């Protein structure tokens, strides 16, 4: 692990808490996150560690604004200004996701009939790159991730778990975003492809990205983490 040199903060979590209200279960309240403080700088990769149920995935979902926080701030540096995603409008959240904040989960959301190459190229086209160049760059990234060329024209619905995961990673990393959230993106990959992903993440960091991720595989964690952020399950209220 190498400590990053002083670089700008990209994400600040302050007093972040999340509880789930289970309305189907006699309104039981499940406290999952409490008083989380974390600052993430450009160029570092912080890996969330801790046992199953500690709230690691929940934290990433709260930051990505898939879940609403119960209280606290999720400040993201967007276009040079701080924006609290916990207070942002849906339009602001979408803008931040389009240009600043990427999220790669373990699962590819397959779009029926859309070929793998176009799934990967689409974020580039959305960023204003020509279709031809976007497809070329998508192909180059799929090749790096060892996705065989014969699969590129096919929709990934029938691909193996590892192939789908590599298409997902390619889609998530093809556009440079300054802040990346990764929820076990390499869970089904073999050692060789994990190395490729580790290399891609290192390149993203060197290009200035701040990365926050979950990696259960210890080798992968040691390879990519510049720092660990330990979490533990909350005691029941």
Report the interface residues with ligand ATP, using CB under 6 A: 20, 30, 32, 52-58
192-227 core/surface letters (b: 16 or more CB in 10 A; e: else): ebbebbbebbeebbeeebbbbbbbeeeebbebbbbe
The answer to whether the beta carbons of residues 39 and 227 sit under 8 Å apart is: no
CB of residue 52 vs ligand ATP: minimum separation in angstroms? 3
CB of residue 31 vs ligand ATP: minimum separation in angstroms? 9
Residue with tokens 């972040």: 16
CB of residue 51 vs ligand ATP: minimum separation in angstroms? 7
CB of residue 81 vs ligand ATP: minimum separation in angstroms? 29
Nearer to ligand ATP, 30 or 93 (CB): 30
Residue with tokens 């005691």: 235
Nearer to ligand ATP, 17 or 175 (CB): 17
Helix residue ranges per DSSP H, the chain: 56-63, 90-99, 116-126, 131-144, 161-173, 191-206, 218-224
Q: Which two tokens stand for residue 35?
A: 């008083």
Q: Which residues lie across from 183 on neighbouring strands? A: 214
Nearer to ligand ATP, 51 or 112 (CB): 51
CB of residue 215 vs ligand ATP: minimum separation in angstroms? 11
Tell me the three state secondary structure of residue 38.
Answer: strand
DSSP 51-116: -TTSSHHHHHHHHTTSS--SEEEEEEEETTEEEETTT--HHHHHHHHHHTEEEE-SS--PPTT--H
| Virtual torsion, Cα 155, 160, 162, 168, nearest 10 deg | 20
CB of residue 39 vs ligand ATP: minimum separation in angstroms? 21
Nearer to ligand ATP, 51 or 80 (CB): 51
Nearer to ligand ATP, 12 or 20 (CB): 20
Nearer to ligand ATP, 56 or 194 (CB): 56
Nearer to ligand ATP, 122 or 184 (CB): 184
CB of residue 16 vs ligand ATP: minimum separation in angstroms? 13
């Amino acid at each position: 692990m190498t400590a990053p040199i002083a670089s700008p903060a990209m994400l600040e979590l302050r007093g972040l808490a999340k509880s789930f209200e289970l309305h189907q279960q006699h309104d039981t309240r499940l406290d999952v996150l409490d008083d989380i403080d974390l600052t993430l700088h450009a160029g570092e990769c912080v890996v969330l560690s801790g046992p199953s149920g500690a709230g690691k995935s929940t934290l990433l979902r709260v930051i990505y604004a898939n879940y609403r926080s119960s209280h606290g701030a999720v400040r993201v540096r967007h276009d040079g200004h701080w924006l609290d995603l916990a207070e942002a409008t849906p339009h602001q959240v979408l803008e931040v996701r389009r240009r600043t904040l990427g999220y790669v989960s373990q699962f590819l959301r397959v779009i029926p009939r859309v070929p793998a190459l176009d799934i990967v190229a689409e974020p580039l086209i959305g960023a204003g790159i020509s279709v031809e160049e976007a497809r070329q760059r998508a192909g180059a990234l799929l090749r790096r991730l060892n996705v065989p060329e014969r699969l590129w024209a096919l929709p990934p619905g029938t691909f193996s778990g590892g192939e789908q995961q590599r298409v997902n990673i390619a889609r998530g990393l093809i556009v440079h975003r300054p802040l990346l959230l990764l929820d076990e993106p390499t869970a089904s990959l073999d050692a060789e492809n994990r190395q490729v992903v580790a290399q891609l993440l290192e390149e993203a960091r060197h290009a200035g990205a701040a990365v926050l991720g979950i990696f259960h595989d210890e080798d992968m964690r040691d390879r990519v983490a510049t720092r660990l952020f330990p979490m533990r399950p909350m005691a029941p209220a």
